[in-house]
Chain A
Amino acid sequence: MTPLVFPRWTNKLRVLAGVLLGVAPLYVIVLVWYGASPKTTDVGYMPKQPVPYSHALHAGELGIDCRYCHTTVERAAFAALPPTEICMNCHKSVRTESRNLLLVRESAATGEAIRWVKVHDLPDYVYFNHSAHVTRGVGCVSCHGRIDQMPEVYQVKPLSMSWCLECHRAPERNLRPPSEVTNMTWKAPEDAVVYGRRLRQRYAINPPTDCSTCHR
């Protein structure tokens, strides 16, 4: 039996093999880096809600302030979802017959909760505090995007650890006067960074990047 000796054409393979060996690790890294990052997996998440509530309508067209419904955002960790009674404040008189509001009216009558689906959902070992950000002048839009243009809410930012750190290390870009936090269209009067730096000075904002800042 003739021994298996590589034919001449296999010499060409050497180049190919070299290239593959060189590129493969790079490819894997890229795959992990992008493929597994929340940028890819999470952004754009738009679950179906039990009630077709439109922020575009309420926050956008009607211009209702965020805090009208999310009342606890300035004093608590959780920007609580509004109790049904807040909806009913208006909907007792507005569109009382709408079938879209069936669940809402039911909830108001029976006291049963509406089962909203969470959109911006952090891991349970992350302790995010809304008040800590809102009162420092980080606008809602910075993390939630143009809610006022969303008929259905979806996730705009990755909410990944690196994304959090980005801002904690250089908050200037996302700072605004605390009075303007809910303003979706606010623009810095001058260069955002310069202006932000001044605000940071004024309000002594030094976001920590310790583990315990978010993990406890």
Chain B
Amino acid sequence: MPPMTDDRTRPSFWRSLAELEGESEFREREKSEFSREFEEAGDGQPDRRRFLQVMGASLALGGATTACRWEKEEVLPLSSRPEGIVPGEPRFYSTSMELDGIGTGLRVTAVDGRPIKVEGNPLHPESLGAASIYQQASVLELYDPDRSTDIVRRQTGASGANWGDFDNWLRGAIGPFRSRRGHGMAVLAEPSSSPTATRLRRQLLSSMPEIRWVDWAPNNRDHEIAGAVRAFGAPMRQLCLYDEAAVVLALDVDPMNPARPGALAAARALTRGRQPDQTQTMNRIYSVESCFSMMGALADHRLALRSGDIAALAALLDARLSARIGARADLGPPQVEPELDLLRTERCSRFVDSLVTDLLNARGRAVVVTGPRQPPQVHSLVHRLNYLLGNVGRTVWYLAEPDGSAAGPGQVSALTGLVDAMRRGGVEFLCILGGNPVLDAPADLDFGAALQKVPNSLHLASYEDETSQKTTWHLPRAHFLEAWGDTTAWDGTVSLAQPLIEPLYGGRSIIELLSILIDGQAKGGRQLVRETHGQLPDPVFRKALHDGVMAGTAWPRLIPSLRPLGKLNLAEGAASSDTLELVLAVDSNVYDGRFANNGWLVELPDPMTKVTWENVVCIAPNTAARLGIADGGRVHLTANGHSVTVTAVHAPGQAERSVKLALGWGRTAAGRIGGATRLGVPAAGTNAYVLTSARQGLVIPEASLRATGERTLLATTQDLHAIDQYGREATNARLGMIVREATLGQWLSHPDFAKTAVHHAPLLQMWQPPVSYEGHRWGMSIDLGKCIGCNACMVACQAENNVPVVGKEQVARGREMHWLRVDRYYKGTPDQPEAAFQPVPCQQCENAPCEQVCPVGATSHSHEGLNDMAYNRCIGTRYCSNNCPYKVRRFNYFNFHLDLEKPENQVKKMVYNPDVTVRSRGVMEKCTFCVQRIERVKIQAKNVRRPIAEGEIVTACQQTCPTGAIVFGDLSSQQSQVSKLQALDRSYALLEELNTRPRVQYLARIRNPKPEST
């Protein structure tokens, strides 16, 4: 076997040889996951070593192989191949991933024992076949070489310890607490609704009732639950049936943000009401928010208001509606109309007027919803509004919160209590299960310092992170793709989670650790899960495992009785008119920081700002002008007596006198991507947690902003260079042709507006037809009315097509590699803008400009109308990119896979899709409509001489799109969905005037603002 460095000098295109791994022996383990010996995987160590050796060997070969004959390549067949395993063929497993207590059902593709692609499980109510960026990118984390590999014991500093040692220590250490019924012991866990975890927790607390158990996540639902308790006297969760709603009002919340529970389902439901082709009707969405969100972009009416002022608006709304509907004794007294100037502005009152009329017209068919940012009183008022409008029981339902996590005083106060106890020395043994409190606990609690006061502490975490470095024990946590478990969806549906691979680094799951805490015995995850669902007979259990959902486990829908509410305290959380409000939010990409080392997510552009690799202060252009803050200028942001230096970005649509900063960045112990002091890697972005406090939630009424005068070059994927006036004029002039949209009324009166939006010379063909297509004609339709800009398709594409992560400097130079990009355009005035999203993959032109200019014919037209790209033929003149009007081609300016040659990074290769060539330096690459998927199905179908069924071939982006905005298919069949969509009158081709005849067509966006007349 030649050394890895060999192919560094040679342009060798390699893919990790499926064959090789297919037959290399870790495949056995994949099989044996479900067999007994894997269950008691107490000694992960030797197995793991062996495993990695084999991996290393096989991958090394994969890497070093080129066309050169004289290179010897080995094939390692299994000594015995399990039934049904076909080397190199993908297999699919159902599992589910939990994010802060909400489970999402997934379908994971594994090739030769390597999970390589995470997709949604169509049967799961939370997913409906889609997967958010978090779930899709999780597979990259699985193979992250920065994940913690060893058990670390802080006092001794010994890092060689194994689970055996730990178990012995724990049995000894926990003894005294057992006798004291757990007194002096505490558990700080990330919220979980896993039935098994809940069961074990109850078991633990029943055996040691004195244990102080605290749940903590920065993205917690305290306000929501407190609001529900105010309104109903019991913790309840709201279930909105958006697809049955005619009018939706979102108060400072983006229900489609993947950080929200039920986001994927909400996105699908909301957009289902926005395809007027058959019904000619649409739902109408109102959004009041401080920060421009995807909901705001989708909305027909959007009002930018400071988060602190939204309570007042809600009160106003309640007053107006109550007045019109008449008092309802059962609902208590209405709010009095607040006397506030900001509600008297012409824009605001017009907004409220049309909102009130719409809500009244849509009684029983409306949804009012708010989010975690808003104080409890707004939540309770929103419940009242839904009752007032008679939505409850029709478009809005309630589910009883499961006991456990939700109950109690709320996470913040519980955590505050715990920290006090820790400081007082009342906690002798603290078990931190997941999470990263040292980073993300409210800054004023100073959790880190308190932790030092705890004599014994352990942290179970995937990474040796900020918290792990302060606990006495760090324990590697098994990735959810490595462990057994179960989760509960927002609506209560239970799904099982099964491992697809043996723990690469011998980690353990939370439930496995809990089982030791309970009785000192390390039970296997499968056993624990099976016990939880002991009542199920094996066939049922196996079916649940196969389907990924347990049928009929959803909770009953309730209509709790609403208590009368007091008058809203509008002072609470509201900023006075002249101060600057700071809104902190979990990041759209790295969430609360746990994904900060995930290259796919860190390099993913923010949906609105399109900034990558860091968090920025979003500030309204006018406010910025007033404060003299430049776009891209560095600023000092001060709040709660703490200050950070961060880059400011002019964000149209941000509320005046309100700025937003995302949490989760600025990690000091994330890894080679997110930043790690230990490795000398500077942090990506700025840590905003230092501004948080336990008193205030994530909305801080008083903050101050001061320009430093410095400027930085942001790594943005759009508007890379500040657009000057002429550029802006040209952009606005073109917008109408690029993103074609109309109001419902306009569209009904001019159904063909999209076709006639551009005046151009007749498009003549040099050949008729340009190319003769027998058989399939692949095409795609993208519905701009349905695209919410969530970027899920970009991650899907990256995972499917082995698209590299290039790093901040390269993005700043404009060399990002995403094959599929989501363009964001602002329209209207900068202080009241609308936003539109446009996903742009390769348009697969029939008259492809790229094909005509390649001097070596590396890109050419296939018989099915694809612009094939032969990477191994490309010499990299980049002429094709120059001539591509859509600029969808991406170029490998360097060998972006070079770091994989480092031995410690070998494991990263395991994530690659063996069906797609990994491109080396100096070649052009681009979207191919996932040709590998097309070919696979074509070959399989032809093998048994059957036609290809409609919808059998699905591109990665289409598969994961939560709203079904992307549809791929065969244009040569009139029955195919794509041909039907492209036949619609609102279907148009981007830049059609260039006569490129793209195979991708867009459906013009129809919006439904309230007609002015009424």
Q: A residues bordering B, Cβ < 8 Å?
A: 38, 41-42, 45, 47, 72, 74-78, 80-85, 107-108, 110-118, 121-125, 127, 129, 131-132, 135-136, 203, 208, 210-213, 215-216
Contacts and interface: CB of A to CB of B under 8 A. Distances in A.
Interface string B735-771: 0000000000000000000000000000000000000
Nearest to B938: A132
Interface stretch (B67-75, B330-338, B500-508, B881-889): B67-75
Contacts of B13: 123-125
Given A212-B928, A215-B917, A76 B28 contact: no
B945 A212 contact: no
Nearest to A215: B870
B943 interface: yes
Nearest to A41: B69
Contacts of B916: 216
A70 B14 CA distance: 25
Contacts of A80: 19, 22-23, 77, 81, 86-88
A32 to B, nearest CB: 16
Contacts of B74: 115-118
Contact of A125 (B22, B872, B944): B872
B935 interface: yes
B547 interface: no
A41 B68 CA distance: 9
Contacts, number: 156
A78 B112 CA distance: 12
Main secondary structure of the interface of B (DSSP, over half): loop
Interface in B869-891: 869-873
A125 to B, nearest CB: 4
Contacts of B859: 211
B943 A210 contact: no
Main secondary structure of the interface of A (DSSP, over half): loop
B75 A118 contact: yes
Which residue among B75, B77, B944 has the maximum number of chain A CB atoms within 10 Å of its CB? B77
Contacts of B860: 210-211
Given A125-B871, A125-B917, 19 more contacts: A42-B69, A76-B86, A77-B89, A78-B88, A80-B77, A83-B78, A107-B79, A115-B75, A116-B74, A116-B77, A117-B74, A118-B72, A121-B65, A124-B917, A135-B944, A208-B863, A210-B866, A211-B873, A216-B932
A116 B869 CA distance: 34
Nearest to A81: B77
Interface string B8-43: 000011110111001111001000000000000000
A213 B932 CA distance: 9
Contacts of B24: 113
Contacts of A74: 943
Of all A-B residue pairs in the complex, the 4 with the closest CB atoms, nearest first, are A211-B868, A123-B67, A210-B862, A113-B76
B204 interface: no
Nearest to A82: B77
B144 interface: no
A209 to B, nearest CB: 8
A77 B111 CA distance: 13
B450 to A, nearest CB: 51
A112 B25 contact: yes
B79 A76 contact: no
B942 interface: yes
Contacts of A107: 79
A81 B868 contact: no
Contact of B73 (A110, A117, A125, A135): A117
Contact of B863 (A75, A81, A210): A210
B917 A210 contact: no
B939 A129 contact: yes
Nearest to A108: B79
B917 A77 contact: no
B931 interface: yes
B66 interface: yes
A110 B13 CA distance: 35
A131 B866 CA distance: 24
Nearest to B71: A121
Interface string B71-115: 111111111110000111100000000000000000000000000
Contacts of B73: 117-118, 121
Given A80-B22, A111-B80, A212-B868, A203 B75 contact: no
A136 B938 CA distance: 13
Nearest to B775: A206
A201 B78 CA distance: 40
A216 B87 CA distance: 19
A43 to B, nearest CB: 10
B854 to A, nearest CB: 11
A92 B550 CA distance: 46
Which residue among A115, A136, A211 has the maximum number of chain B CB atoms within 10 Å of its CB? A211
Contact of B86 (A45, A75, A127, A212): A75
Which residue among B25, B62, B931 has the maximum number of chain A CB atoms within 10 Å of its CB? B931
Given A47-B72, A115-B74, A212-B868, A78 B87 contact: yes
Contacts of B944: 135
B823 to A, nearest CB: 26
B915 interface: yes
Contacts of A38: 69
A117 B72 contact: yes
Contacts of B940: 131
Interface in B935-974: 935, 939-940, 942-945
B927 to A, nearest CB: 12
Contacts of B928: 212, 216
B22 A211 contact: no
Contacts of B66: 123-124
Contacts of A45: 69
Given A132-B943, A212-B931, A113 B79 contact: yes
Contacts of A81: 23, 75, 77
Contacts of A113: 23-25, 76-79
Contacts of B870: 211, 215
Interface string B912-923: 000111000000
